[in-house]
């Protein structure tokens, strides 16, 4: 899906590559993210001498679990993409990517997946003041209260709790 025909690009000088990658598409493979809408990828590839420059952006929405209460949260990402491909072996983990030695097709799947992983936050909260789950009975404190006492909580945090109350 995210492939560029290098012969055609060389002839035309530039080419657009637009894709909407739905959840469930093989593109996602075993990436540990949960898209809830198609990932919109809008790119333009340009021949620059022997190099290929790919620029554009992607937008998507992912489902994540709130770090405190585990409720699902929709997380939007919007990322600019800039890739530079050059002939020959390139440094691993470097900024410059290698053009394929054989064939005339450039597959952008891996770098786009990498951008997704970097763009999706590691943690989210459903809201700033999410009260989370009761560590003792597991009730969602946003939705209800429980009779658990706080006695068993770690007292090292007591001064911090007091600070927060005063704030």
Instruction: Give the footprint of Zn ion on this chain (CB under 5 A).
Output: 66, 68-69, 126, 130, 134, 136-137, 146, 148
Residues in the chain: 167
Q: How far is the CB of 77 from Zn ion (least distance, A)?
A: 19
Please say which residue, 136 or 153, places its beta carbon nearer to Zn ion: 136
Beta strands in the chain (DSSP E): 3-5, 14-21, 39-48, 51-65, 72-86, 96-98, 105-107
3-state secondary structure of 28: helix
Residue with Cβ nearer Zn ion (16 or 127): 127
CB nearer to Zn ion: give 42 or 141: 141
Strand ranges (E), 66-154: 72-86, 96-98, 105-107
In angstroms, what is the minimal distance from the CB of 59 to Zn ion? Answer: 24
Shortest reach from residue 69's CB to Zn ion, in Å:
3
Token couple for 121? 């936050």
Gyration radius of the chain over CA positions:
23
Choice between 73 and 81, CB closer to Zn ion: 73
CB 132, min distance to Zn ion, A: 6
Burial of residue 133, with CB atoms counted within 10 A of its CB: 0-12 exposed, 13-18 middle, 19 or more buried: middle
What is the C-alpha to C-alpha distance for residues 45 and 54, in angstroms, rounded to an integer? 4
Start-to-end CA span in the chain (Å)? 52
Least CB distance to Zn ion at residue 139 (A): 5
Instruction: Identify which of residues 95 and 128 has a Cβ nearer to Zn ion in the complex.
Output: 128
């Amino acid at each position: 899906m995210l492939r560029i025909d290098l012969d055609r690009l060389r002839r035309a000088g530039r080419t657009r590559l637009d894709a909407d990658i739905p959840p469930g598409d093989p593109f996602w493979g075993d990436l540990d993210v949960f898209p809830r809408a198609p990932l919109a990828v809008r790119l333009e590839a340009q021949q620059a001498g022997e190099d290929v420059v790919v620029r554009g952006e992607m937008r998507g929405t992912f489902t994540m679990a709130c770090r405190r209460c585990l409720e699902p949260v929709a997380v939007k990402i919007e990322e600019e993409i800039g890739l530079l491909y050059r002939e020959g072996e390139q440094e691993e983990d470097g900024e410059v990517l290698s053009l394929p030695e054989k064939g005339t097709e450039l597959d952008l799947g891996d770098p786009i997946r990498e951008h997704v992983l970097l763009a999706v936050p590691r943690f989210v909260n459903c809201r700033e003041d999410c009260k989370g789950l009761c560590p003792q009975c597991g009730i969602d404190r946003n939705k209800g209260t429980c009779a658990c006492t706080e006695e068993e909580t770690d007292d090292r945090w007591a001064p911090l709790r007091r600070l927060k109350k005063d704030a």
